Structure 1
Amino acid sequence: MRQGHRLDLLADGNHFFPAMLAAIDSARHYVLMEMYLFESGRLADRFIAALIDAADRGVQVHLLLDDFGSLKLQAHDRVRLRTGGVILALYNPLRLGRLSANLHRDHRKLLLIDGRVAFTGGSGITDDFDPSIRTRRWWHDLMLRIEGPVVHDWQRLFERTWRQSSDAALPALPTKLPEPAGPHATRLVVNDGRRREIQRHLVRRLSDAQQRIAISVAYFVPPPRIRATLRRAARRGVKVDLILPGRHTDHQSARYAGRRFYTQLLRAGVRIHEYTPRFSHVKLMICDDWVSLGSANLDHWTLRWNLEANLEFEDTDFAATALAQFTADLAQAREVDLPTWMARGHRARAREWFWSLISSWLVRWEAIRPPRAPVRRG
């Protein structure tokens, strides 16, 4: 754990987007931005304008987008960025005949300003996350604003991924750690195909939890080890609550695949709550005073194929802040009880069976194929 951080947990786009845009406006040396979802629209227009304005001031602006996640970024917006002085790179361009390689995506979300402040969390740059645009059905999410030494670790992580994706030179990045900015301790953990730190740390914390496990994720298709660890925790008396998407989601297939596991979890004493007002895109995991927040869900893409990055905390004060947000979300979720769940209809059961079969087949198919490295540059 690195010491000395200021942390601001920001809920929903009406709070974190203005903070992110203000940070870009304050940049004097460089802006590094890495995003999975970046789609043309009113919100993207605001970020494109802010990035171009920064470049006009002489700030070096590097924007790294996942090729699949940015498919809806229109050609004219890409031209605007490049002609406006923004250096744009695409991670792992999609290629026909390379399904295995195409599965590897950059799902991280990062905005880093001058080596002094960073933002990370679950949001993308699409109108869906902005309550001022989608006034009734915006996507609920969290972002974290960070100041302190761990910003240096985010910077080096961005640098490694950028060099895999582009030959364009990065600005000279400082080698000195940022000065301590607050009382909190944190560490950066990653998944990148070779390292699976996020999953490994989560399993250990689930196993060690004594009082409380609280998990909110947008996609829940966990591997057997995580499911078993959750069941064991509930059976030994740990309070285990999951907040998962209800009917509002952008991937019904993932929702049905994950619901296949509800019965075994409910029988073990795990409490499952489906978020009802809108799509909850949050990625938050709490085990007692340990918190993990960032880009990672609990599904096959997160745990096997994606580039992911979370921040971890062992901090009573920040754990209380995170748990307060989780509790507020819990108040807007509908609990799934075992008798009602067991009485669900045949159509729902058939969908769960079908999509869990597809999910299992995809994992087995990938496991038996020879590894194929993703095509990086674009």
Structure 2
Amino acid sequence: MTFYLIIGVFVIPFFLFIWCKLDFMLGKKRHNHEREHIFYPRRKGHITFFRDGKTFFDAYFEDIKNAQHHIHIHFFIFRDDQLGSQLIRLLCNKAENGVHVNVMADRLGAGMSRKGRRTLKKSGVQFTYSQKVSLPFLFFSLNRRNHRKMTIIDGKIGYVGGFNVGDEYIGRNPELGFWRDFHLRIEGQGVTDIQTQFLSDWMKAKQTPFPKDDEYFPTIAEEGKDTYQILASDGSGLETFFTQAIEQAKKYLYIASPYFVPSNRIQKSILQAIDQGVDVHIILPEKRDHPFVKEASYAFLEQLMSKGASVYYFREGFFHAKALLIDEKCCDVGTANMDMRSFFLNNEMNVLLFSSDLIQEVKNTLDKDIEKSLRVKKEDLQNKSFWANAREQIALRIKELL
């Protein structure tokens, strides 16, 4: 009995740990040879910036109601709760009236029930999962998620940003409260880039390809007032872009993210920016939706704060917005968090904004959020309980997965 107890308590977990480590290492090595990132061309169109769930979903649902030919959707999370069921009913109605509706959700993140999937398929909606778990590197593929949130309507309207489909995103989770997030509605030439990426992801999920005709890729000759560029990444390119963008800062740098677990390269670039006189502001949530990521950020934040960075914990609800703002030159808004998972594992989609009015709109929102936040002191991170220290040590050892 004692022998089997030893096997169960020590030997099996040890071999499981070794298998996970080898699986992840070999899977990442193969992925490094296959990964790619795409900087689509700079475009000129019309962008609407959303900062709260009600305003976003009101506009989103209205656009879907007005769809004439097709609706293409990918969300990381798509629950069939009260909000999700409302969207499902709307999509089913459009499909039953002849609109081509194609929906993808991340295989592990989605959270949709079998009933929800059946309801969609019964009405003619094509539904599939992206980024499915697969052999031979099971543990690595388990951690490779499609974190993009994108929607294309009739090839003319596109959505990219941080909102998923779930009641919490409109403040219905009493523990998290109000949900701060950023999302963009795009009209104009850049929609074709979102469409291209969706169809690429759709085909990788082993679904039927779509014809590249005017119905899916309508010609949009007219230029809009906003200049922007779309970046699609799949575990490469994002770290380099963020590093180079931070190095361009001369006056101020805003980093907004629900999680802050930067790579050593990005941490170094932020420290150098501070040394060169750049005002660095980092906005994070006070509340947590993950057991370890807050503690994983402590060591990085302490180092930055000792150099003069300002760190704020948003207190009005949960802060899920993702933005990197560099002076008045450029602002990045999209799906990527400031963490290792977004840099090296996830499929992400970000939009680089170059128009001064949009950049100012994002900055004004972040400045108002800072007013509603707690300014973090270095002592707050240093005077931690035993359990907080223990969680921090665990988090730092698994930071590549956070």
Q: Contact 1:198/1:310 (CA < 8 Å) preserved in 2?
A: no
CA contact (8 A) 2:96 2:124 kept: yes
Question: Could you report, residue by residue, the CA deviation over 1:326-366 in whole angstroms, capped at 9, with x for unpaired residues?
Answer: 11111111111224433333432232122112225x59xxx
Pairwise CA distance, 1:3: 3.8
Per the alignment, do residues 267 and 337 of structure 1 end up closer, same or farther by CA in structure 2, a change over 3 Å counting?
Answer: same
Number of the residue aligned with 1:252: 291
SS in 1 for 2:261: coil
Offset at 1:300?
1.6
Tell me the amino acid that sits aligned with residue 61 of structure 1. Answer: V
Residue identity opposite 2:342 in structure 1: T
Please state how far the C-alpha of 1:34 moved relative to its aligned partner.
0.7
CA contact (8 A) 1:8 1:145 kept: yes
User: C-alpha displacement at 1:131, in angstroms?
Assistant: 3.0
**Whole-angstrom CA distance in 2 between matches of 1:76 and 1:167:** 21
1:114 matched residue in structure 2: 154
TM, length-normalised to structure 1:
0.90
Structure 2 unaligned runs (5+)?
1-40
Distance 1:297 1:277, change over 3 A: same
Q: Cα offset for 1:178?
A: 2.3
Aligned residues: 358
Q: Tell me, what secondary structure is at the counterpart of 1:119? A: strand
Cα deviation code 1:91-119 (max 9, x no counterpart):
12235871111211100001110011111
Aligned amino acid, residue 132 of structure 2: P
Counterpart among 130, 135, 146 of residue 91 in structure 1: 130
2:224 corresponds in structure 1 to 182
- 2:260 corresponds to 1:220: yes
TM-score normalised by the chain length of structure 2: 0.84
> CA RMSD for the aligned pairs?
1.9
How far does residue 132 in structure 1 lie from its aligned partner after superposition? 5.9
Does residue 50 (structure 1) correspond to residue 112 (structure 2)? The answer is no
Please say if 1:358 is aligned against 2:398. Answer: yes
**Would the aligned equivalents of 2:155 and 2:218 in 1 still touch at CA under 8 Å?**
no
1:242 aligned to which of 279, 282, 286: 282
Identical positions, percent: 26
Which deviations, in whole Å up to 9, do the C-alpha atoms of 1:137-186 show, x marking residues without a partner? Answer: 14221111111101111100111110000323436543454243521111
Amino acid of the structure 1 residue aligned with 2:189: P
Q: 1:303 to 1:44 in 2, by over 3 A?
A: same
In the alignment, is residue 68 of structure 1 matched against residue 108 of structure 2? Answer: yes
CA contact (8 A) 1:231 1:268 kept: yes
Aligned to 1:373: none
Indicate if the aligned counterparts of 1:20 and 1:111 stay in contact, CA closer than 8 A.
no
What is the distance in 2 between the residues matched to 1:309 and 1:177?
A: 23
Q: 2:302 aligns with which of 263, 278, 301?
A: 263
Higher relative CO (CA 8 A, sep ≥ 6), structure 1 or 2?
1
Could you give the per-residue CA deviations for residues 45-80 of structure 1, whole angstroms, max 9, x where no partner exists?
11101111111121100001110011x211111100
For 2:378 and 2:306, how far apart are their aligned partners in 1? 7
Whole-angstrom distance in 2 between the partners of 1:340 and 1:254:
17
Using the alignment, how far apart are the partners of 2:43 and 2:395 within structure 1?
Answer: 44
Distance 1:234 1:172, change over 3 A: same
Cα-to-partner distance string for 1:282-340 (whole Å, 9 max, x where unaligned): 11110112011110001121011110010002222211111011111111111112244
Rounded Cα–Cα distance in structure 2 between residues aligned with 1:135 and 1:17: 21
Q: Structure 1 residues 337 and 133 mapped into 2: Cα distance closer, same or farther (>3 Å)? A: closer
